[in-house]
Amino acid sequence: MAYVARSEAPLCSEQFGSGTARGCRAAADGSLQWEAWGRRWWGFSGAFTTKPGGRDGGERVAPGTAVPPLSRLLAVFLPQGFPDSVSPDYLPYQLWDSVQAFASSLSGSLATHAVLLGIGVGNAKASVSAATATWLVKDSTGMLGRIIFAWWMGSKMDCNAKQWRLFADILNDVAMFLEIMAPIFPICFTMTICISNLAKCIVGVAGGATRAALTMHQARRNNMADVSAKDGSQETLVSLAGLLVSLLMLPLVSDCPSLSLGCFFLLTALHIYANYRAVRALVIETLNEGRLWLVLKHFLQRGEVLGPALANQMEPLWTGFWPSLSLSLGVPLHRVTSSVFELQKLVEGHQEPYLLRWDLSQNQVQVVLSQMAGPETILRAATHGLVLGALQGDGALPGELEGLRNRVRAGPEKESCVIVRETHQVLDKLFPKFLKGLQDAGWRTENHQLEVDEWRATWLLCPEKKLL
* DSSP-derived secondary structure letter, 417: H
Q: Could you tell me which residue, 378 or 5, shows the higher pLDDT?
A: 378
End-to-end CA distance of the chain: 98
Q: What is the pLDDT of residues 403-445, one digit of tens each?
A: 888 888 776 665 788 888 888 888 999 999 999 999 999 999 9
Pairing of strands 326-329, 364-369: parallel
Query: Do residues 196 and 252 both lie within one domain?
Result: yes
Nearest alpha carbon to residue 146 among 101, 211, 206, 214 = 206
> How many domains, in total, are found in the chain?
2
Query: Do residues 359 and 424 both lie within one domain?
Result: yes
Contact 141, 198 (CB under 8 A): yes
For residue 2, being part of any structural domain is answered with no
For residue 128, being part of any structural domain is answered with yes
For residue 394, being part of any structural domain is answered with yes
Residue at which a domain ends, from 231, 265, 281: 281
* DSSP-derived secondary structure letter, 413: G
- Report in angstroms the alpha-carbon separations of 448 from 150, 151, 456: 22, 22, 18
Q: Which domain holds residue 232?
A: 74-281
Residue at which a domain ends, from 246, 265, 281: 281
Q: Report the chain's C-alpha Rg in angstroms.
A: 30
Query: Do residues 349 and 405 both lie within one domain?
Result: yes
Q: What is the pLDDT of residues 252-288, one digit of tens each?
A: 888 888 899 999 999 999 999 999 999 999 999 999 9
Q: What is the pLDDT of residues 145-198, one digit of tens each?
A: 889 988 888 778 888 899 999 999 999 999 999 999 988 888 888 888 889 989
CATH number assigned to the domain comprising residue 190: 1.20.1250.20
pLDDT value, residue 321? 56
Q: How many CB atoms lie within 10 A of CB 267?
A: 22
Query: Do residues 340 and 440 both lie within one domain?
Result: yes
Query: Do residues 277 and 294 both lie within one domain?
Result: no
pTM of structure: 0.82
Long-range contacts of 300-304 (CB under 8 A, 24+ apart): 300/387, 300/390, 300/395, 300/396, 300/397, 300/398, 300/401, 301/395, 301/396, 301/397, 304/437
Confidence tier at 304 by pLDDT (50, 70, 90): very high
Query: Do residues 355 and 250 both lie within one domain?
Result: no
Q: Could you tell me which residue, 460 or 356, shows the higher pLDDT?
A: 356
Confidence tier at 293 by pLDDT (50, 70, 90): very high
Query: Do residues 351 and 298 both lie within one domain?
Result: yes
